[in-house]
Structure 1
């Protein structure tokens, strides 16, 4: 009895799986095999029927999408960095100073290695994959996202009182006028 229930549920599941659409990015369709094995199904993709030019175009499109993913990756890290800034406190302590050092130095390191990071996503026909003008828009977006990280670090410095923004911070550079001569008779 339990065997028949198990067989029924597996048959029911497999029929439900056949009706599910393929996941995004995976255009897989199932075709039945030869007449000898009707139970076995073999996947066949639509990419088998693509011409080499279409395959190259899809590959370039995929590389472009990956370049944009890399360009927006610093912005995707901002919420976590802001949570860490919040939980590190407002005092000048070793943990919060390390946090500020990371927030202020990582954008400069990332922008310095930007051309090398984007070289793998350069189009095939690019003269120099490491040139700044190759993938210009994703690189500019990458710079903007790193500037946002830098602004979070500057906000943390301001919160800790490390930025000289008040008038009291600039008293050493203030010029005082000469005092009037007052004589008492």
Structure 2
């Protein structure tokens, strides 16, 4: 014995039938109330692209707390793990800056003649360079604290030359 449910009868007597559709829901074309969304003007797309470009430009600075914690956890000694983290921290700004124009192409405004030109989104690109320089500075600070950068006078003794002694003893 099989029973079939008739869902169409439930729809006509449902108490929820007269509720408005949820926000963002478009009814089908056969329905009485259709909502037509007009495309936003291109200027709003350009403003959104500019905002996203600023978010992309500040991304290296936003990742600095996590990288600083990784540097702290790696310790101050010269081991393979700490060296790997330092090398990653030192190389990533150079990789980012090498592809700066290609990275900002998706954010170029629709009115830009050449989206790969350096002058397109110049403010965002300069902010991106500054954030990458900050990342590089943190990496160099870690190298200095590990003793890998020659900062003291004793580190340069091999390159120091001695002059002739002021007194010569022949006997």
- Which structure 2 residue ranges, 5 or more long, are not aligned? 1-16, 26-35
Q: Could you tell me how far 1:44 is from its partner in structure 2?
A: 6.1
Q: Could you tell me how far 1:57 is from its partner in structure 2?
A: 1.6
Question: Given the alignment, which residue of 60, 64, 70 partners 1:74?
Answer: 60
Q: TM-score, normalised by structure 2?
A: 0.78
Secondary structure at the aligned position of 1:41 is classed as coil
Query: 2-side partners of 1:92 and 1:42: how far apart?
Result: 59
2:88 matches 1:102: yes
After superposition, give the CA deviation of every residue in 1:95-153 in whole Å (9 maximum; x if it has no partner): 01111110111000001111111000001111110111000000000000000000011
Q: TM-score, normalised by structure 1?
A: 0.73
Q: Could you tell me how far 1:174 is from its partner in structure 2?
A: 1.2
Q: Could you tell me how far 1:89 is from its partner in structure 2?
A: 0.6
In the alignment, which residue of structure 2 is the partner of 1:38?
A: 18
Query: 2-side partners of 1:159 and 1:49: how far apart?
Result: 58
Q: Could you tell me how far 1:175 is from its partner in structure 2?
A: 2.0
Question: Given the alignment, which residue of 151, 154, 162 partners 2:148?
Answer: 162
In the alignment, which residue of structure 1 is the partner of 2:164?
A: 178
Query: 2-side partners of 1:57 and 1:150: how far apart?
Result: 36
After superposition, give the CA deviation of every residue in 1:4-42 in whole Å (9 maximum; x if it has no partner): xxxxxxxxxxxxxxxxxxxxxxxxxxxxxxxxx422335
- Which structure 1 residue ranges, 5 or more long, are not aligned? 1-36
After superposition, give the CA deviation of every residue in 1:157-185 in whole Å (9 maximum; x if it has no partner): 0011010001111001112121121355x
In the alignment, which residue of structure 2 is the partner of 1:151?
A: 137
After superposition, give the CA deviation of every residue in 1:65-111 in whole Å (9 maximum; x if it has no partner): 10000000000000001111111111110001111110111000001
Q: Which has the higher helix share?
A: 1
In the alignment, which residue of structure 2 is the partner of 1:133?
A: 119
